[in-house]
């Protein structure tokens, strides 16, 4: 491996890696072809095995994730990864039978009396999954719930920042699944490049927009359909009528969670111009009460040195270019090697600042003031479509105006983030924030082929319309044209 660039791998190692990945894909595809229609009982067993793997190894999984981060709040891992996945499995088990049922579709009885239409959801085959480091169990296993519910097999490429967890999953997964059903892969350099070039039956990627474009380009060479969950700069909008303290509490709860390292996190917030100082004061009060010590185990570390430096550089860039930067814990410093950044508010920003132009992915909250709703709408619409927007208002008409006048992957009203946790809502981006959906029934549909089947009746009138065409065919076609022109 090249020390300067871990993605540059000697050709001999790259060929070995290529053979390993292709061998696993061939193993899973042959297993799929030998059993293309997976029964309800087998799908249920796969979901229960996934649940069992998580439950029986919960403590080791929590410890591995924390080791990958440097420090990851145990409570945040349990809440966002363990509990969420268990709920997702239980929801799928509850609805799986109804999801699998063939769908009846209407038939055109004018020409096809006695015929019938059905749609059968069938497994696609082998699904490739490229998983980021920020919620590695949540994003791998909730995806696997959809994949297994639809009757598929999966190859999962984990992040280079999740190495302790990945090695644990590689070690334990064989106790619950055969390799022809589920296989995990560690990023050791160049794995992601080779992985994205494999001819999967579907590929799901969660990560940055820049990498997402490369993954989509690689998949396109094999016409592999993709689901991309990318992120972006998600705005919150606090209306003048909404309780400002309540809005601050809800926004900062999400902003501090996982040290802000969430793709659907609040990236920036609009507040009424006359409430600027009140907003700052309420933020300071919240941090003093709920995050008095950034070196506590309750406060998660930034994932690695590169990300830590990026967050600090974003603060410095804003200061140097004239922004108002408020450290909400001015006397706090990160302990040696812990990579912890105090929460910051950044106001009075301009377009040339880094924080305006890239997702912060950290405990930094950009603050805009505004005087009318249209200014907010115009600002959002001038930029890439975000993964979510978060309007705070008791005025239903105003909330609907923000929903109707902007476009985003999803929306939470009077809170942030939690639309993602609703099993019966599809999760996905739009435009630069991604494409495709999963979670719940929508995930089942994403990883299924909805196969239309037409069943012809014993009698068909089509034989009277065969050439050579005579008066009867002319009369029938004229009648149909006139009938359908009404």
Q: Which residues are catalytic?
A: 229, 263
Place of tokens 């998600």: 234
Give the number of residues written for the chain: 486
Among candidates 52, 183, 34, 49, which has minimal Cα distance to 123?
A: 34
**C-alpha Rg value of the chain to the nearest Å:** 26
Sequence-ordered list of residues with C-beta below 8 angstroms from that of 172, at least 6 positions apart, any chain: 53, 57, 60
Task: Output the CA angle 439-362-241, nearest 5 degrees.
Answer: 75
Contact 132, 114 (CB under 8 A): no
Sequence-ordered list of residues with C-beta below 8 angstroms from that of 241, at least 6 positions apart, any chain: 393, 394, 395, 398
Sequence-ordered list of residues with C-beta below 8 angstroms from that of 331, at least 6 positions apart, any chain: none
Report how far residue 351's alpha carbon sits from residue 372's, in angstroms, rounded to the nearest whole number. 20
Report how far residue 112's alpha carbon sits from residue 480's, in angstroms, rounded to the nearest whole number. 13
* Residue 39 token pair: 């029964």
């Amino acid at each position: 491996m090249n020390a300067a660039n871990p993605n540059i791998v000697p050709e001999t190692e790259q060929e070995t890696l290529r053979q390993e990945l292709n061998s696993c894909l061939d193993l899973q595809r042959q297993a799929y072809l030998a059993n293309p229609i997976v029964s309800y009982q087998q799908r249920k067993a796969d979901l229960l095995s996934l649940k069992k793997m998580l439950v029986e190894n919960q403590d080791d999984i929590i410890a591995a994730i924390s080791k990958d981060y440097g420090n990851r709040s145990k409570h945040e891992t349990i809440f966002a990864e363990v509990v969420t996945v268990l709920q997702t499995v239980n929801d799928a088990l509850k609805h799986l039978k109804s999801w699998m049922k063939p769908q009846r579709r209407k038939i055109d009885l004018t020409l096809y009396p006695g015929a019938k239409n059905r749609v059968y959801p069938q497994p696609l085959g082998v699904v490739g999954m490229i998983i980021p480091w920020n919620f590695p169990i949540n994003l791998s296993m909730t995806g696997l719930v959809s994949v297994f519910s639809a009757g598929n097999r999966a190859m999962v490429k984990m992040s280079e920042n999740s190495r302790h967890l990945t090695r644990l999953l590689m070690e334990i997964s064989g106790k619950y699944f055969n390799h022809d059903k589920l296989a995990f892969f560690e990023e050791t350099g160049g794995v992601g490049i080779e992985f994205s070039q494999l001819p999967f039956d579907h590929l799901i990627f969660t990560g940055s927009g820049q990498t997402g474009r490369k993954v989509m380009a690689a998949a396109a060479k094999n016409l592999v359909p993709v689901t991309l969950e990318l992120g972006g700069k998600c705005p919150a909008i606090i209306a003048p009528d909404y309780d400002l303290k309540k809005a601050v509490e809800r926004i900062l709860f999400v902003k501090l969670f996982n040290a802000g390292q969430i793709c659907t996190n609040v990236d920036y917030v609009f507040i009424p111009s006359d409430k600027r100082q009140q907003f700052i004061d309420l933020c300071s009060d919240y941090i003093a009460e709920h995050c008095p010590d950034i070196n506590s185990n309750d406060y998660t570390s930034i994932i690695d040195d590169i990300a830590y430096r990026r967050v600090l550089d974003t603060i410095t860039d804003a200061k140097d270019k004239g922004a108002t930067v408020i450290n909400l814990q001015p006397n706090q410093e990160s302990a040696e090697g812990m990579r912890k950044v105090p929460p910051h508010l950044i106001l009075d920003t301009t377009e040339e600042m880094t924080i305006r132009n890239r997702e912060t992915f950290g405990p930094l909250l950009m603050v805009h003031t505004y005087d009318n709703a249209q200014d907010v709408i115009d600002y959002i619409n001038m930029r890439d479509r975000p993964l979510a927007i978060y309007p705070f208002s008791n005025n239903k008409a105003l909330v609907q105006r923000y929903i109707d006048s902007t476009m985003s992957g999803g929306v939470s009203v009077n809170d942030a983030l939690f639309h993602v946790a609703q099993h019966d809502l599809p999760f996905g981006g739009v435009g630069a924030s991604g494409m495709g959906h999963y979670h719940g029934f929508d995930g089942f549909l994403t990883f299924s082929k909805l196969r239309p089947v037409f069943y012809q009746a014993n009698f068909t009138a089509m034989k009277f319309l065969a050439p050579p065409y005579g008066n009867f065919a002319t009369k029938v076609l004229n009648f149909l044209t006139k009938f359908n022109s009404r």
